[in-house]
Amino acid sequence: MTTPKETTAIAKRPIDKLKVMLNEDSIREQFRNALRDNADMFVASIIDLYGSDLNLQQCEAGAVIRECLKAATLKLPINRQLGFAWIIPYKIKGVAMPQFQMGYKGFIQLAMRSGHYRFLNAGVICEGVDVVEDELTGAVSFKGKATGPEVLGYFAYLELLNGFSKAIYWTADQVTAHGKRYSRAFAAESSPWQTDFNSMAMKTMLKQLLSKYGLLSIEMAAAIEQDYDEERAEDSYFQEVREKANVQTMPDVTVVSVQTPTDAGTTDPVQTRAPF
C-alpha cells in the first residue's frame, strides 16, 4: 500500500510533472494543431526522451515542452538517433535550460519539402583530397580520393531547380573556431559538438549556405531563426534584427505629405508549398 509520503514523492518526480502538463487540454491542442493525427505519437516521443535523459529532467517540464513544440511546428522528430532535431539541456548561470537545435538532416528535410532544390548535400573532406577554390567566381571543387581518416574540412552544396548552384568549404579549424565562438556550450559533455562533431559541422555548413545563398521557404526561415545555437553570429540577419529593432528613439517629426507612386510595380510574394 502506498503511503501519503510515497504518493507525494511520486507526484513530484520530473517525469510525472511532464505527463501531467502534456495531458492538459491546452497543451494537447497545440500539438494537435501542429501535427494533427501524429500528435499522440509525438507526445509519446517527448515522454520517452525526457524519461531517458537525467540531464533533461533537471530542466523545468514546461520549458522542455515549449522547445519540443518548436520541433513539432516544423514537423521534425526529436529522436536523437535520427538526427533531424534535438532538445539539448544546458546549464545557464547554474540553471538547467532546454534548447531546441536543428540537425543537418532537418535542414535537408525542410529543403526537400520546399520543392525548390535539385541537390542539397554536405560532407566531410579527408586527407588525400585536393580542394580547388576560385577566388573570382567563388566556385569550389575537389580532386582525388581520400587516402586516410584525417579530416581536412567540410563542404555544403546546393543546386536549385532554376539552375543556380553554390558550394562552400571550411577547414576543420575554421569549423572548430566557429563552434567555440558562437555555441553557448561547445565544450559541454552533452553538447552535440562533443558527441557528434561531424554532424554539427555539416549542419553549420548547410546553415551558412542556405542562409546566404538558398531560396528559403517560410518553414526554412523559421527553422534558421529557431535554431539559435549560433544566433549570436555577427553576420546573422536575425541577430541584427533582435539587437537593433525597436531600440532607437525616433525624434518628433511633422509629416508634410506622403506621395505614393502610381506607376510603381508590384512584386508577387514568394510562393511556398505546404509542408505535406
Per-residue pLDDT of the chain (276 residues; tens, 9 = 90+): 445 454 444 557 999 999 999 999 999 999 999 999 999 999 999 999 999 999 999 999 999 999 999 999 999 999 988 989 999 888 878 899 998 988 999 999 999 999 999 999 999 999 999 999 999 999 999 999 999 999 999 999 999 999 999 999 999 999 999 999 988 778 877 788 898 999 999 999 999 999 999 999 998 998 888 775 444 433 443 444 344 443 333 333 333 333 333 333 333 333 333 333
Q: Where are the domains positioned within the chain?
A: 11-102, 104-244
What pLDDT is stored for residue 34 in this prediction?
95
Neighbouring residues of 86: CB distance < 8 A, sequence distance ≥ 6? 78, 80, 100, 101, 103, 192
Neighbouring residues of 143: CB distance < 8 A, sequence distance ≥ 6? 129, 130, 132
- Which runs of consecutive H residues, i.e. helices, occur in 134-217? 172-182, 192-195, 197-213
What is the tens place of the pLDDT at every residue in 174-185?
999 999 998 877
| Mean pLDDT score of the chain | 82
pTM of the predicted structure, to 2 decimals? 0.73
Query: Could you tell me which of 68, 67, 62, 59 has the C-alpha nearest to residue 39?
Result: 68
How far, in Å, CA of 86 to CA of 188, rounded?
A: 15
What is the tens place of the pLDDT at every residue in 137-157?
999 999 999 999 999 999 999
Residue 206 grid cell: 548547410
